[in-house]
Amino acid sequence: MNTEEITTQIQKQLNFSALLLKKHSDEVDLESWFGFNLINEWHIKSAKRLLKYYGIHSGLHLRSALFEYETGMRVSAPFEKLAASLRLDTTSSFETKYNALNNVTQEHQYTLAWKYRFSLKDQKLKGYELAKYVFLMRLGGILNYMEFEEITLRLSDVEVLLKNTFDSWGAFHRNVCIGDEFMNGRGEQDLSSYPGILTLWECYQRMHINYPHWFKEW
């Protein structure tokens, strides 16, 4: 599967997961189907470890996860539930709720939901979810959990969904970063990541410098 030609259009679609791939390892090859080197034993083990971390052990597990990310069950639903509850609050009542929390993760999620409770009412965290969708699909392809034809069809579908939601790479990548913050915490290293990696915001800045030609035309 990895020998199939990557057209300009497919590369653009694969790039929807570029930020998340870069977060997990700076050694990934963004211009390949899967991001990982299929002849590098360490890369294969790393990909397997990531899939295991996300609870994916078969093609069925992969498709179930993709369904949940596409439909918003994994991220947008909990974000919107919290944001909707905060739209009725004043600054004072929000602070009362926030001060009653005793969990760092909840405190961070409340802060983000409060900040974006109106601006992300329509988009929610769809950008992050579909970036994770493509990311997991590329990982699954390494273990042949999904055939090439299905991957290309799903990539085209994701592109339509994203272009109906965002108007630029910048808007999309910002949503990916916010979603990552909501799920993993600001500056906190994801347990599935490699040691010493950058935060997603830092990856975003570096990637736009290293691949400026990729992110001009949406």
Mean pLDDT of 109-121: 98
Token digits of residue 95 = 């602070």
Predicted TM-score (pTM) of the model is 0.90
Q: Residue for token digits 């579909």?
A: 130
Output the CA–CA distances (angstroms, integers) from residue 181 to 7, 128, 167, in the order listed.
Answer: 32, 10, 22
Instruction: Work out the mean pLDDT of the chain and round it to a whole number.
Output: 91
C-alpha closest to that of 34 among 134, 132, 161: 134
**Confidence band (pLDDT; 50, 70, 90) for 162?**
very high
* CA 83 to chain centroid: 20
Examine the pLDDT at 211 and tell me if it is beyond 90.
no
Q: Residue for token digits 């369904």?
A: 67
**Confidence band (pLDDT; 50, 70, 90) for 27?**
confident
**pLDDT given at position 158:** 99
d(C-alpha 202, C-alpha 196), whole Å: 12
